[in-house]
């Protein structure tokens, strides 16, 4: 594979707060290979890619690789130091991470999507980059080339195998529903009432659902980033999606009243036990619940097979906010090739 020409020097690193390290200067790292990863802890693609970042950090630290995460938040709540610190601890990330709350580094590097990774050579120049998921072995090959160019002579570790079957280029994947953002800037609401930005509407369930859309029932406030429930005590509100996928996730922020219960139904029923996402618990009445105690991505449904389903989230917690739904696919069984 070919590296990019060495004529674009990497911008210096700066930010609001550092985790796992003091201030790091790229100038002080001359002679070493540096991997810069732009990420957001609520983004499903970033969460998926983190496994590779942590593995490369483990494998290549002894060869001089320095991994630095740049946390550029998509949502306002992810600008808080304590919130991001908890996310870093949950993910067990040990390499340095800097907060980029005003997206200054994001703009300086020219990042356009989460995640975006850059490789910087021993002289401080950007030599390789990749946006989004995938391309993990190509990225690792570029990483190894730069380690050799930095002066290492010897045997490097073998390339990392695909950590999930869906990452292997040999496997054909089902096409899943794309990420759905609930904020009015993305215009994904399917109700005929439409958006009334920064205002509350009492929505009626149309009971007809199109793909790549979400539908609301009850009193919801639409904002730039999310839908916020505004029902009075004793009232409930729902958000409904029709999706094609194996798994479903949602980014949810609780109200200030503590832990919020959200009832999760699939195809009009409580989730079957074998379809429980990692964050589902069973209520006393047998209902499927997610207990929202902090702003993060919650894994709601994890079906055995790829399929089309209707997912409904119902809450009675005023000011609970729902930001996005994201989906995971699976390999088409007839085309599965084991690693």
Least confident range of 77-86, 251-260, 306-315:
251-260
State how far the Cα of 271 lies from the Cα of 247, in Å rounded to an integer.
Answer: 12
Q: Tell me what pLDDT residue 338 has.
A: 63
Average pLDDT of the chain to the nearest whole number: 95
Q: Are residues 33 and 147 in the same domain?
A: yes
Domain boundary among 163, 195, 213: 163
DSSP class of residue 319 equals: T
Q: Are residues 326 and 185 in the same domain?
A: yes
Q: Is residue 173 part of a domain?
A: no
Q: Using the predicted structure, report yes or no on whether residue 255 has a pLDDT greater than 60.
A: yes
Helix axes 44-60, 136-149, angle to 10 degrees: 30
Give the pLDDT band (50/70/90) at residue 179.
Answer: very high
Q: Tell me what pLDDT residue 5 has.
A: 72
Q: Are residues 88 and 210 in the same domain?
A: no
Q: Are residues 294 and 184 in the same domain?
A: yes
Paired tokens of 322: 């729902």
Q: Is residue 113 part of a domain?
A: yes
Backbone dihedral region of 194: left (phi > 0), alpha (psi from -120 to 50 degrees) or beta?
A: left
Question: Taking the complete model, does pTM exceed 0.85, yes or no?
Answer: yes
Which CATH number characterizes residue 276's domain? 2.60.120.260
Q: Tell me what pLDDT residue 307 has.
A: 97
Q: Are residues 134 and 258 in the same domain?
A: no
Q: Is residue 24 part of a domain?
A: yes
Q: Tell me what pLDDT residue 169 has.
A: 83
Residue with tokens 């449904």: 301
Paired tokens of 73: 């938040």
Q: Using the predicted structure, report yes or no on whether residue 271 has a pLDDT greater than 70.
A: yes
Give the pLDDT band (50/70/90) at residue 336.
Answer: low
- State how beta strands 66-71 and 97-99 pair: parallel
Q: Are residues 149 and 256 in the same domain?
A: no
Q: Are residues 282 and 236 in the same domain?
A: yes
Q: Tell me what pLDDT residue 170 has.
A: 80
Q: Are residues 272 and 325 in the same domain?
A: yes
Q: Is residue 12 part of a domain?
A: no
How confident is the model over 120-161, as pLDDT tens digits?
999 999 999 999 999 999 999 999 999 999 999 999 999 999
How confident is the model over 280-329, as pLDDT tens digits?
999 999 999 999 999 999 999 999 999 999 999 999 999 999 999 999 99
Q: Are residues 327 and 212 in the same domain?
A: yes
Share of the chain above pLDDT 90, in %: 90
Q: Is 175 helix (H, G, I), strand (E, B) or coil?
A: coil
Give the number of domains in the chain.
2
Q: Is residue 241 part of a domain?
A: yes
Dump strand ranges (E) for the chain: 18-19, 34-39, 66-71, 97-99, 116-120, 126-131, 180-181, 200-203, 214-222, 227-229, 237-253, 260-266, 269-270, 280-282, 288-292, 296-315, 321-328
Q: Are residues 135 and 26 in the same domain?
A: yes
Q: Are residues 208 and 293 in the same domain?
A: yes
Q: Is residue 66 part of a domain?
A: yes
Domain boundary among 113, 132, 163: 163
Residue 326 burial (CB count, 10 A): 24
Q: Using the predicted structure, report yes or no on whether residue 258 has a pLDDT greater than 90.
A: no
Do 37 and 129 meet the contact criterion of CB atoms below 8 Å apart? no
Pick the residue with more confidence: 15 or 107?
107
Q: Is residue 199 part of a domain?
A: yes
Q: Are residues 268 and 208 in the same domain?
A: yes
Please list the residues that pair with 286 across neighbouring strands. Answer: none
Q: Is residue 6 part of a domain?
A: no
> How many Å separate Cα 129 from the centre of its chain?
19
Q: Tell me what pLDDT residue 339 has.
A: 59
Do 56 and 130 meet the contact criterion of CB atoms below 8 Å apart? no
Domain boundary among 129, 163, 197: 163
Give the pLDDT band (50/70/90) at residue 92.
Answer: very high
Q: Using the predicted structure, report yes or no on whether residue 168 has a pLDDT greater than 70.
A: yes
Q: Tell me what pLDDT residue 253 has.
A: 97
Q: Using the predicted structure, report yes or no on whether residue 335 has a pLDDT greater than 70.
A: no
Q: Tell me what pLDDT residue 29 has.
A: 95
Residue 274 burial (CB count, 10 A): 8
Which CATH number characterizes residue 137's domain? 3.40.30.10
**Residue 157's domain spans which residues?**
18-163
Share of the chain above pLDDT 70, in %: 98
Residues 6+ away with beta carbon under 8 Å from 224? 183, 184, 185, 197
């Amino acid at each position: 594979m070919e590296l990019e020409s060495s004529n674009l020097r990497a911008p210096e690193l700066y930010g609001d707060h550092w985790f796992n390290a003091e201030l790091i200067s790229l100038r002080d790292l001359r002679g070493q290979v540096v991997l810069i990863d732009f990420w957001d802890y609520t983004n499903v693609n970033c969460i998926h890619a983190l496994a590779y970042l942590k593995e490369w950090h483990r494998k290549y630290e002894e060869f001089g690789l320095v991994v630095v995460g740049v946390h550029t938040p998509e949502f306002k709540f992810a600008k808080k130091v304590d919130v991001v610190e908890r996310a870093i601890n949950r993910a067990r990330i040990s390499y340095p991470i800097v907060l980029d709350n005003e997206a200054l580094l994001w703009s300086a590097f020219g990042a356009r999507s989460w995640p975006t990774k850059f490789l910087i050579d021993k002289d401080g120049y950007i030599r390789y980059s990749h946006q989004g998921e995938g391309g993990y072995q190509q990225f690792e090959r570029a990483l190894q080339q730069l380690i050799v160019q930095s002066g290492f002579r010897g045997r490097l570790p073998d390339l990392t195998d695909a950590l999930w079957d869906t990452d292997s280029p040999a496997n054909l994947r089902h096409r899943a529903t794309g990420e759905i953002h609930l904020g009015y800037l993305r215009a994904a609401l399917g109700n005929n009432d439409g958006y009334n930005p920064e205002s509350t509407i009492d929505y009626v369930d149309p009971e007809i659902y199109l793909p790549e859309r979400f539908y609301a029932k009850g009193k919801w406030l639409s904002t730039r980033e999310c839908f916020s429930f505004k029902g009075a005590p004793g009232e409930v509100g729902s958000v409904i999606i029709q999706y094609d996928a194996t798994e479903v996730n949602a980014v949810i922020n609780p109200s200030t009243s503590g832990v919020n219960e959200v009832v999760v139904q699939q195809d009009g029923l409580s989730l079957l036990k074998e379809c429980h996402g990692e964050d589902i618990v069973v209520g006393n009445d047998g209902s499927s619940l997610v207990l929202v105690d902090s702003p993060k991505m919650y894994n709601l449904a994890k079906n055995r097979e790829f399929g089309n389903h209707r997912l409904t989230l119902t809450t009675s917690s005023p000011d609970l906010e729902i930001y996005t739904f994201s989906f995971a696919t699976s390999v088409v069984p007839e085309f599965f090739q084991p690693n």
